[in-house]
Amino acid sequence: MLVDIPILFELGITASIGATVMLITNKFMLPGLLSWATMPETTLVKIRQQQQQRERPLFRFLASFADRRRGSAVLLVALVLLVAGWWKGADLTIGDNQAGAPEFWPDARYNQDIQAIVSNFFFGLDELTVIATMNADGCVDRDTMDRVDEFVWRMGNVPGVQVVRSLTNVMKQRTVGNSEGHPKFYSLPRYATGLASSLRGLELNTKLFNDHCDAIPVRILLADHRADTLLRATDAVKAYEAEFGRDGLHFELASGPAGVMAAVNESVRAAQWPMKAALFPAVALLTYFTFMSLPGTLCVLIPLALVSYLADSVMVMMGIGLKVSTLPVVALGVGVGVDYGIYLFARTQAFLRQGEPLKLAYYHALESSGTAVIFTATTLTIGVATWAFSALKFQADMGLLLAYMFFVNMIAALVLLPALAAWLVPADNS
């Protein structure tokens, strides 16, 4: 909700309402339902005996990481993954990675039609409109129009730009028409009277200029709206404005569908790190208040941060760009993933306070909470992983990305948390 993007603000409100309702159902409705549940005492005794006698090989294996020797190996692997994630995550794209509609697979009919149009016609379906602002009656000022015409030529040579349309193109075409169609006259007239003549008869509804002729839209039709295409185009506009913008003439970004996409990409790029900077301190603060222990907070937070950081490299390998729809996934993964660490460390801390050594305490914590953690994570993972079979690429990408967040957060909590605890939370200091 701190991100200055309205749709994310609304998503934050919706998620907060959902979490509040979940809190009410878990803390009030569930105990009420359990109060009606009954079980014979003999059954309870039998269950307790079975739990005491049952050996859990998986939990015993996981508990072995609560040892400084084996835990060091886990921490080394985590460090290697962190470096690899930093190297791969540097290639993360802000925006769309594919041409056409990102909601569909590349072989979808709609995307195939777009590719055919762009490949076979001198035309683009993604329009970025730059507004050239100038003094009143700038349309009949030769120096101003020369600058606009040069801007049109510059943008036409940017890779990814299909065609550029503006008032200067029309004026040059009309000048040729006024000169018996001779191609050597395809240029802007030198004097105001000639410029005015080329404007004669043009109506405002052509949307080539406004009523005071102090604003001219320059329509830049792009081959696609991939992040690198938009970035090249907007960077070229900014570079030209920085070089030739002056009092009386400026090139303002941007309108049109592609212009909106470019603006959204810039907002996402600006919001990426502030969101994380707000998210993790908030989680750390609440976790500290839960355990009143700095080592406990680190044991819960570090695996969470590692998985979230590696999400960037996973998105690169999956060909998913960071955009409004994927930006909240990190927050969602942290919100769900922190539960695993809290469950495990809370039970471990309770057994440590009873005087048990760390390895045994973690084993007992797994016995009481490990099954719930594994069941919850597996259920969530399988549920969203089924989206991978969707005909919508967007849904398939989101399903795989969420499945990664849910499942790998569980693995990190089960394996990395005890390894950290072996160094940060010795049994005699708990």
Give the domain CATH number at 247.
3.30.70.1320
pLDDT at 202: 80
pLDDT at 250: 95
pLDDT at 429: 45
Distance, in Å, from the CA atom of 364 to the CA atom of 53, rounded to the nearest integer, reads: 13
Residue with tokens 């404007």: 199
Judgement on whether residues 80 and 143 belong to the same structural domain of the protein: no
Q: What is the pLDDT of residues 329-357, one digit of tens each?
A: 877 888 888 889 999 999 999 999 998 99
Distance, in Å, from the CA atom of 161 to the CA atom of 158, rounded to the nearest integer, reads: 6
Judge whether 1 lies within some domain.
no
Judgement on whether residues 308 and 256 belong to the same structural domain of the protein: no
pLDDT at 430: 42
Q: What is the pLDDT of residues 345-390, one digit of tens each?
A: 999 999 999 989 999 999 999 988 898 999 999 999 999 999 989 8
Show the tokens assigned to 389.
């079979």
Q: What is the pLDDT of residues 54-74, one digit of tens each?
A: 778 889 999 999 999 999 999
Contacting residues for 94 by C-beta, under 8 A, at least 6 apart: 227, 265, 268, 269, 272, 321, 322, 323
Q: What percent of the chain has pLDDT over 90?
A: 45
Name the 3-class secondary structure at 166. Answer: coil
Return the C-alpha torsion angle 241, 268, 10, 310, nearest 10: 180
**Rounded to two decimals, what is the model's pTM?**
0.81
Judgement on whether residues 365 and 229 belong to the same structural domain of the protein: no
Q: What is the pLDDT of residues 6-20, one digit of tens each?
A: 888 888 888 889 888
Distance, in Å, from the CA atom of 340 to the CA atom of 387, rounded to the nearest integer, reads: 23
Range of the domain at 369: 56-90+293-429
**Which of 137, 326, 142, 165 has the alpha carbon at shortest distance from 256?**
165
Last residue of a domain, one of 240, 261, 282: 261
Distance, in Å, from the CA atom of 138 to the CA atom of 214, rounded to the nearest integer, reads: 6
Predicted confidence band at 318 (pLDDT cuts at 50, 70, 90)? confident
Give the domain CATH number at 417.
1.20.1640.10
Domain count, the chain: 2
Judge whether 276 lies within some domain.
no
